[in-house]
Each structure stands twice: as C-alpha cells, then as structure tokens.
Amino acid sequence: MPRTFFVGGNWKCNGTRESIAKICEEFGKGESTAEAPVEVVIGVPFIYADLTREKLRKDWSIAVQNCWVGKGGAFTGEVSADMIKDAGINWVILGHSERRHLPELKESDETVAVKVAYALANGLKVMACIGELLEEREAGKTQEVNERQLKAIAAKLKEDDWKNVVIAYEPVWAIGTGKVASPEQAQEVHEQVRAWVASNVSPSVAADVRILYGGSVTAKNCVEIGGKPDVDGFLVGGASLKPEFLDIVAAYKSK
C-alpha cells in the first residue's frame, strides 16, 4: 500500500484567540480532504487546544507540541501523555530541534526517546523530529546525527509501535531561516533514514513509516520537494499560520 501523504503544522509559541479564529476560518475555505489520500494535523499551543479543535475544520486533526516523560504527579508546569489522551488529542510533536537546542531547554536524545515511548504507551501518535545543525552538516555529520537520534528512539520501541510514528527530518539550519534543503538533498537524507530503519528496525517498518521534511516549506517549494519518492509530506512551521498552508496541503495531489 502507498504511504498516505502527511502534512503537519507547527504553530510553536504563536497565536491569540483572535488570530486562531481567523486562520481557522481561512483554512475552512479549502476543499475537503476527508476522502483524500492526505492526513493533516496542526500542532497547537496547549492553552489553545480546545479553541482550535472547536474552530478548525473537522477533516483535520490537532496535536500538542510536547509532553512530560511519564505519568502525572508533582511536576509543576508539565502536561502528561495520559492527560493529552484524556483531553481527546491523539498527536504530539516530540524532539523538535528547538526543544533539543534552545539553551533554556536542551532536551537530550534520551529524554526525547523516553517521551516518545511513554506517549506511544499511552495511546498517542508521535511526530518524532530529527535533524542536524549547520555545523554538523558542514562537517559531513548529517547521517551520523540523524542515526544517533533515531537509535535512541528505536531502542525504546517495539516494532509494532512504529505504526503510530511519523519521522520528521528537519535540518536545523533550514528552520525559519528561508534556507531550504534542495529536493535532491531532502531525498538523499530521507533515503538514508529509511535505509537505517530497514536495517535497524525492519524492512516492513521502513516501507510503511512516513518521513516528513521540515525547514522553510512554502507553497512555492512544496510540490517539488514532496514529489521525491522518500518524502511523504511536511512538518510546516511559519507557513502553517498563513492561508498558503492550504496550497502546501494540496501538494499531495502531485505525489
């Protein structure tokens, strides 16, 4: 079976009640994807999850952008995976480069892996992010970094868990910078990631798992990048707050 195209949005720490209502109204003008071979999931700030679910078109889903490493308890300011599931939300974004690299956060590979495993164990689906810094790419370490981050996650999962995971490859140097990996660069890395999964998890998981590209995706570049054989969609940052996100979703038609 072909892999269903996947378009994720990541609103990050952006939005107001007013702006979310407006962008959801704009998104509602696009054609239905209910019967289309594409899955659309918007990652929203925790505080606006219920508002977004109310306003967002019903053929799209929502995700939150983080969760705690384990069950709830005396962890002020954190939100556990079981709470997220209890709230009726089925997706979470984990391991995003900003959580890995912002000096105030600095999540390790191990922390990300524990979060992924716990979220899956509590019935959530996970967009698991990987990707290299600019200096790592320039040093020829892209594959090494991606495999290190994947290895930490894979060590904590059973093969069956992977059916609820999408991998988002996000070159850190391309996030919010306007720089974009060329379609050829994206395909090369996605192919390497899929080969690693085939060798270290299983060929069947590698054939089925969706690998997304993230990094300054726009309406102008999405069709060419999304047309590559190992690119199964996108995780979109800034453009997911704009009406052009509809054009990015429509890239599935060119797959």
Residue showing tokens 């979310």: 20
The closest of 254, 253, 248 to 8, measured between CA atoms, is 248
Is there a contact between 38 and 67 (Cβ–Cβ < 8 Å)? Answer: no
| pLDDT confidence of residue 180 | 80
Distance from C-alpha of 98 to C-alpha of 12, rounded to nearest angstrom: 9
Number of Cβ within 10 Å of residue 13's Cβ equals 7
Residue 76 is predicted with a pLDDT of 98
CA of 143: how far to CAs of 33, 184, 193, 194, 218, in Å?
A: 34, 15, 8, 11, 25
Q: Residue type for 161, please?
A: D
Identify whether the C-beta of residue 249 lies closer than 8 Å to the C-beta of residue 4. Answer: no
- List the catalytic residue out of 96, 98, 107, 132: 96
User: Whose structure tokens read 């709230």?
Assistant: 87
Per-residue pLDDT, 177: 83
Pairing of β 61-64 and β 5-10: unpaired
> What's the confidence (pLDDT) of residue 44?
98
Q: In whole angstroms, give the CA distance from residue 115 to residue 129.
A: 12
Catalytic residue among 39, 132, 170, 244: 170
Number of H helices, E strands in the chain: 11, 8
- Distance between start and end Cα atoms, the chain: 14
The domains located in the chain, with CATH, are 5-254 (3.20.20.70)
* Cα angle 234-235-241, degrees, rounded to a multiple of 5: 115
Q: Which residue stretches of the chain are H helix?
A: 17-27, 49-55, 81-86, 97-101, 109-121, 134-138, 142-154, 183-200, 203-208, 222-226, 245-249
For the chain, 255 residues long, the average pLDDT of each consecutive 10-residue run is 95 98 98 98 98 98 98 97 97 97 97 98 98 94 98 98 98 85 95 98 98 94 97 97 98 95
CB atoms under 10 Å from CB of 229, counted, come to 10
**170 in catalytic set:** yes
Q: 122 near 164, Cβ under 8 Å?
A: no
